[in-house]
Amino acid sequence: MIKLENIHKSYKMGSSALHVLKGINFEVESGELVAIMGSSGSGKSTLLNILGMLDIADKGLYQLDGTPIEKLNEKRAARYRNHFLGFVFQSFNLINYKSALENVALPLYYQGVGRKERQKSAMELLERVGLEPWAKHLPNELSGGQKQRVAIARALVSKPKVVLADEPTGALDSKTSYEVMELIKEINNEGKTILVVTHERDISQMCNRIVRLRDGEVAEDFLTSNRVINH
């Protein structure tokens, strides 16, 4: 599903350059639930940004579902993001003046899906994450866990090939974190490929596979016991 070969990325810091990713190689199969771990500064956010086409690698090959992701202009990046990817952010990033239902439906608006159909799909997904009664509520009327469920529903509504979650539990207490991770696992069990960036060990242990980054390189890449149970 995802194939990375020799990905390099550096940021200019005045006269010197900060080499963040120093040749990342790994592949993700369809249906995997992968945790990307690493301490701050290890390059995990940069990697996620490149995976999410929010940023462009200086060098290397990135293939998503067989499509080489290259020569990205803003317009193409937007289209790829819209069709291939769903995002879940640490701070939820819901539009605060739109109801839960409208937030979930928004990606479909940018796909050009009709209004009725958008609402229907969005409602189905809210049901799926257990927030049907909250559909008309604004984000600030929801708890953190509920907001993240809305964000997950939004990430799924466009039927993406891959869901990228950036510290999805970072702003949540541990109980809610586990609930959200359970939801993510359920969705993964339905066949969706999911990458979770986290620095919390217990969260990463809930995934099937852990890729640990250190200083811009893949330091460890191993399967957790979960995978055995799932298959």
**Contacting positions for another protein (CB under 8 A):** 49, 52, 54-55, 74-75, 78-79, 81-83, 87, 89-91, 93-98, 102, 106-107, 109-111, 114-115, 154, 158
Q: How does strand 193-197 pair with strand 162-166?
A: parallel
The residue among 32 and 102 lying less far from another protein, judged by its C-beta, is 102
Cα-based torsion angle of the residue sequence 77, 81, 87, 89 in order, rounded to the nearest 10 degrees: 20
Residue 139: CB minimum distance to another protein, A: 11
Q: Amino acid letter at 72?
A: L
Residue 177: CB minimum distance to another protein, A: 18
CB-based contact 125:151 (threshold 8 Å) = no
Q: Which residues contact 122 (CB under 8 A, 6 or more apart)?
A: 101, 102, 104, 105, 108, 135, 153, 157
Q: Which residue matches tokens 């080499």?
A: 19
Residue 26: CB minimum distance to another protein, A: 21
Residue 200: CB minimum distance to another protein, A: 18
Residue 80: CB minimum distance to another protein, A: 9
CA–CA dist 171, 148 (Å, integer): 9
The residue among 150 and 206 lying less far from another protein, judged by its C-beta, is 150
CA–CA dist 134, 167 (Å, integer): 24
The residue among 51 and 210 lying less far from another protein, judged by its C-beta, is 51
Partners of residue 62 on adjacent β-strands: 4
The residue among 73 and 225 lying less far from another protein, judged by its C-beta, is 73
Residue 226: CB minimum distance to another protein, A: 29
The residue among 48 and 211 lying less far from another protein, judged by its C-beta, is 48
The residue among 87 and 134 lying less far from another protein, judged by its C-beta, is 87
DSSP string, 11-54: EEETTEEEEEEEEEEEEE-TT-EEEEE--TTSSHHHHHHHHTTS
